[in-house]
């Protein structure tokens, strides 16, 4: 056996990667004349030491769980869906239409309706690149990224020319009616004399994200379709030989992927903004790629990686509030984490693998 143990692959590699990223970030912060320990303390305090900080961390994490799962499902079929951004924005359109034009009696019904609508719109937006890939061989990376721009242009057109309330300066829809207001963590967990999660945007969608994690796990490892997706991902020719239709698997896995990306909109559009604004996805579609890479395309890994990125987002915001650092620095820190956990994965894995093999040989000799 020339592999390192599974736990090392799943836990040790990402941990060491994060550590390297943290050390490099500390060096950058120190180079700018700030105390890196103080900066780290600010991030932890702001993101994890108060319930309202958690409220933001979990809000961002919810977005990243959805987009991370979206990328993961496509990964299992060896497809690189980098269109999460566009699919999430179109999902937002689905949510907005659903919330604005259907008179929902209660938020719970609206949530179900919006979930279906967001998933359907997101899936629809992934369908065209999927069918182009399956039938015409147009590379999915190219088509999905192009569809991001088409989605942005479409949303812009619709917001500026159709859905914008008259007199409004901002390209955004009207605020959704009160009846579709989703319960936030503040509504759910606060008592009269102890307000928790004050003002933070985390809402009930977080639990839908957890359900989505479980559903994706069941789908990939416990159903026939999941088996076919994985078989197709491992070897297209092998899958064909076993009677699995490449066209069908390509389209279905992309539809699921698009639907998951679209679901992000119930968190950002229905839960937080309560109206559709421009660029509602805010790059979460791209962060999803890093989250999926770091989480090894496993729902549990995606969940943990999403929490980490949620922490980076909220901690970064706190750093900007109280430390007076340029906002570009926060982007640098986030980029370092993405670089080491995603792109430079083998940078850590290979030496570690060699180390493990060396110790094992010694043990058996």
Partner 1 sequence: MTFMQKTLGTAAALALTAGAALADPALIYDLGGKFDKSFNEAAFNGAERWVKETGGSYRDIEMQSEAQREQALRRFAEAGFNPVITTGFSFAEPIKNVASDYPDTKFVNVDGFLPEIPENVSLISFQEHQGSYLVGVLAAMASETGTVGFVGGMDIPLIRHFACGYAQGAKATNPDINVIANMTGTTPAAWNDPVKGSELAKAQIGQGADVIYAAAGGTGLGVLQTAADEGIYSIGVDSNQNYLHPGSVLTSMLKRVDNAVFEAMSDGENLETGKMTTLGLAEDGVGYAVDDNNADLISDEMTAAAEEAKQKIIDGEIEVVSYYENDSCPALDF
Contact residues toward partner 1 (CB under 8 A) are 45, 49-51, 56, 59-60, 149, 152-153, 155-157, 160, 164, 166-172, 175, 194, 199-201, 268, 272-273, 275, 277-280, 282, 313, 316-317, 320-321, 324, 327, 330-331
Q: What tokens appear for 328 in the block?
A: 């570009």
Rank residues 47 and 231 by Cβ distance to partner 1 and give the closer one. 47
Find the shortest distance in angstroms from Cβ 299 to partner 1: 24
Find the shortest distance in angstroms from Cβ 325 to partner 1: 10
Residues in the chain: 365
Rank residues 50 and 360 by Cβ distance to partner 1 and give the closer one. 50
Find the shortest distance in angstroms from Cβ 283 to partner 1: 8
Q: What tokens appear for 352 in the block?
A: 């570690």
Q: What tokens appear for 111 in the block?
A: 């949530």
Find the shortest distance in angstroms from Cβ 267 to partner 1: 10
Q: Residue 79 in contact with residue 328, Cβ under 8 Å?
A: no
Query: What is the C-alpha to C-alpha distance for residues 201 and 164, in angstroms, rounded to an integer?
Result: 24
Find the shortest distance in angstroms from Cβ 202 to partner 1: 10
One-letter-per-residue 3-state SS of the chain: CCCCCHHHHHHHHHHHHHHHHHHHHHHHHHHCCCCHHHHHHHHHHHHHCCHHHHHHHHHHHHHHHHHHHHHHHHHHCCCCCCCHHHHHHHHHHHHHHHHHHCCCCCHHHHHHHHHHHHHHHHHHHHHHHHHHHHHHCCCHHHHHHHHHHHHHHHHHHHHHHHHCCCCCCCCECCCCCHHHCCCEHHHHHCECCECCCCCCCCECHHHHHHHHHHHHHHHHHHCHHHHHHHHHHHCHHHHHHCCCCHHHHHHHHHHHHHHHHHHHHHHHHHHHHCCCECCCCCCHHHHHHHHHHHCCCCHHHHHHHHHHHHHHHHHHHHHHHHHCCCHHHHHHHHHHHHHHHHHCHHHHHHHHHHHHHHHHHHHHC
Find the shortest distance in angstroms from Cβ 146 to partner 1: 13
Find the shortest distance in angstroms from Cβ 152 to partner 1: 5
Rank residues 74 and 336 by Cβ distance to partner 1 and give the closer one. 336
Q: What tokens appear for 128 in the block?
A: 């065209």
Rank residues 9 and 282 by Cβ distance to partner 1 and give the closer one. 282
Q: What tokens appear for 270 in the block?
A: 């229905």
Rank residues 194 and 364 by Cβ distance to partner 1 and give the closer one. 194
Rank residues 50 and 296 by Cβ distance to partner 1 and give the closer one. 50
Rank residues 104 and 197 by Cβ distance to partner 1 and give the closer one. 197
Rank residues 76 and 275 by Cβ distance to partner 1 and give the closer one. 275
Find the shortest distance in angstroms from Cβ 324 to partner 1: 8
Find the shortest distance in angstroms from Cβ 45 to partner 1: 6
């Amino acid at each position: 056996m020339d592999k390192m143990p599974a736990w090392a692959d799943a836990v040790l590699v990402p941990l060491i990667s994060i550590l390297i990223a943290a050390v490099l970030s500390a060096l950058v912060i120190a180079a700018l004349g700030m105390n890196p320990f103080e900066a780290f303390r600010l991030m932890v305090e702001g993101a994890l030491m108060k319930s309202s900080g958690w409220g933001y961390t979990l809000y961002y994490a919810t977005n990243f769980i959805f987009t991370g799962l979206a990328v993961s499902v496509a990964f299992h079929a060896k497809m690189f869906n980098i269109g999460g951004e566009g699919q999430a924005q179109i999902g937002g359109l689905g949510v907005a239409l659903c919330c604005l034009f259907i008179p929902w009696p209660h938020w719970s019904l609206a949530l179900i309706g919006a979930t279906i609508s967001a998933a359907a719109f997101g899936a629809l937006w992934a369908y065209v690149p999927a069918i182009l890939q399956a039938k015409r061989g147009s590379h999915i990376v190219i088509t999905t990224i192009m569809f991001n721009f088409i989605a942005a242009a479409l949303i812009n057109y619709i917001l500026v020319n159709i859905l914008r309330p008259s007199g409004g300066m901002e390209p955004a829809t009207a605020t959704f009616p009160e009846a579709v207001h989703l319960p936030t963590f503040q509504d759910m967990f606060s008592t009269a004399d102890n307000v928790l999660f004050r003002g933070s945007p985390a809402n009930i969608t977080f639990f839908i994200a957890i359900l989505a994690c479980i559903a994706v796990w069941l789908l990939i490892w416990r159903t026939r379709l999941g088996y076919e997706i994985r078989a197709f991902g491992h070897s297209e020719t092998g899958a064909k030989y076993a009677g699995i239709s490449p066209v069908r698997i390509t389209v279905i896995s992309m539809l699921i992927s698009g639907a998951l990306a679209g679901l992000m909109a119930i968190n950002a559009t229905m839960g937080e903004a309560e109206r559709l604004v421009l660029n509602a996805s805010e790059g979460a579609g791209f962060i999803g790629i890093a989250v999926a890479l770091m989480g090894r395309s496993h729902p549990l890994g995606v969940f943990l990686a999403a929490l980490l990125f949620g922490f980076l987002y909220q901690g970064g915001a706190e750093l900007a509030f109280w430390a007076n650092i340029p906002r570009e620095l926060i982007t640098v820190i986030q980029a370092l984490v993405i670089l080491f956990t995603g792109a430079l994965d083998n940078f850590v894995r290979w030496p570690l693998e060699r180390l493990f093999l060396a110790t094992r040989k010694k043990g058996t000799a």
